[in-house]
Amino acid sequence: MSAFPAMVVVIAMTGLLRPDAARAQVIDTYLPPLGAAYGTTGADQVRAHDLDEYAPYGIHLGTARIDGEISASGGYDSNADAVPNGHASAVFIDAGSASIVSDWARNQLHAGMTVIDVHYPERSIQDQTSWTATAGGVYDLGRDKLGVSYNHLDLYQISTDIGALLSIRPVHYQVDSAGISYSSALHNRLTLIPELLVTQYRFGGGSDTGIGSQAYRDRTLLTGSVAGRYEMAPGETLLLVVQGTDIAYQQKLAGLPGRDSLGGAVMAGIDFGLSGPIRLRALVGYQRRSYRSDVYGNIDSPIAQLELSWLPTQLTTISLAVQNGIEDSGFENVGGFTYTSARLSLQHAYLRNLTFGAYTQIQNANYSSTPIELQNTPLNQQQSNQTIYGVGLNMKWLLNRSLSITANYDFSTQNSVLTDSLTTNEFLVGLHFAF
């Protein structure tokens, strides 16, 4: 069994408060990729460079392994408010995480929890404490497998997130998701995976955020899908995914049409290179969202997911991730928007215990104009666009199996919707203790 699978949730969460980690749907970080089953854990690409002599031992309790990490980081943020002409501040981030995974021969159970506290001494109104809890498992039925997962995310959205409103303070929100899948081996090479996922979003807000209550964004998503996997050869799999989504908003805004919708998508692709220097996972297809109110009409868009990893040497990893699709809008008068992101990153082990990394990324959101029924009203909005450019550098120095030092620099520039452009520079140095 790998030494690091139970840490995947931990590492995913540590990036959520980084400028380079802005995304339309944070929940995607905690869900398996399209065409994969629920309930499993996976190896982390970055920690794969940690050689055996520097990998944490973990704590073994019978047939279970516990991993954890605590860290303290400090640095400087040139725009702590995440708004145009925002204030600069020092920033301190304390984080803790723990996870447990079974080490059984067939079935598997796992759980994890993460807490992150962010403090800005000069801008205390931006302080935030986020936490997550996850659990899942796989029951092996021989040729078939039953997988389940649950995630609770207690997070904050800032103005620089895709699809977010311009807010004086971070907007608190919660996400709960529960998924179940059944992997059925119909043939030596063919596997069908029906899945069902229920996701609920609940938003805070209020007068202290400067934008009023965000409860109108509360919604429940019911997503059903069937994935087919056909193994052409070891490590080479063809994928076909058919997906349907029902989105129901909990509150209706007076004078505005409802934003409930039905959506569907069909995708096909390949999963290649489970071993070897190249790892490719790509799905492309078409997606449609139809709103129950005729005012919003339909949104049609290509949908794509691409994950490409190349190891030109044993010490270097180059990765490319691309995503395109339809997301939910944070604006009262806009039903949804199309979203595209691309990220290119490089990770190199300069020494046995010293790694350097760099990335560049772009994110773009296209918002349609408000319906004609809302023209000549205060809710009228022209077609708009939000683009984020980001670059960053990082370093990790492993002192021993438990202690490590990290340094990160992140730069991003963007035009927030209906506002002037804004730029953010952030530098952090951190000390980490893992067990």
Tell me the domains of the chain and their CATH numbers.
Answer: 5-434 (2.40.170)
The helix (H) or strand (E) run that includes residue 9 is helix 8-14
- Give the pLDDT confidence of 269-278 residue by residue, as tens digits: 999 886 779 9
Farthest-apart Cα atoms in the chain, separation: 68
Question: What would the pLDDT profile of 83-93 be if each residue is shown by its tens digit?
Answer: 888 999 999 99
- What's residue 368's pLDDT? 75
- Predicted TM-score (pTM) of this structure: 0.85
CB atoms within 10 A of CB 416: 21
For residue 311, CA distances in Å to 55, 275, 283 come to 20, 11, 21
Going from the C-alpha of 135 to that of each of 38, 98, 103, 132, 355, the distances in angstroms are 11, 12, 15, 10, 31
Neighbours of 188 (CB within 10 A): 8
φ and ψ of 171, to 5 deg: -95, 120
Query: What digits encode the pLDDT tens for the residues 49-91?
Result: 445 678 899 999 999 999 999 999 999 999 999 888 899 999 9
Nearest residue to 98 (alpha-carbon basis) of 88, 107, 111, 85: 111
The closest of 265, 256, 297 to 283, measured between CA atoms, is: 265
The span from the CA of 364 to the CA of 343, in Å, is: 12
145 compared with 333, residue with greater pLDDT: 145
Per-residue pLDDT tens over the stretch 356-401: 999 999 999 888 776 666 666 545 566 678 899 999 999 999 999 9
**pLDDT tens, position by position, 38-51:** 776 654 433 444 45
Average pLDDT, the chain: 84
DSSP state of 371: P
Which percentage of the chain shows pLDDT scores above 70? 81
Tokens of 212: 């009023």
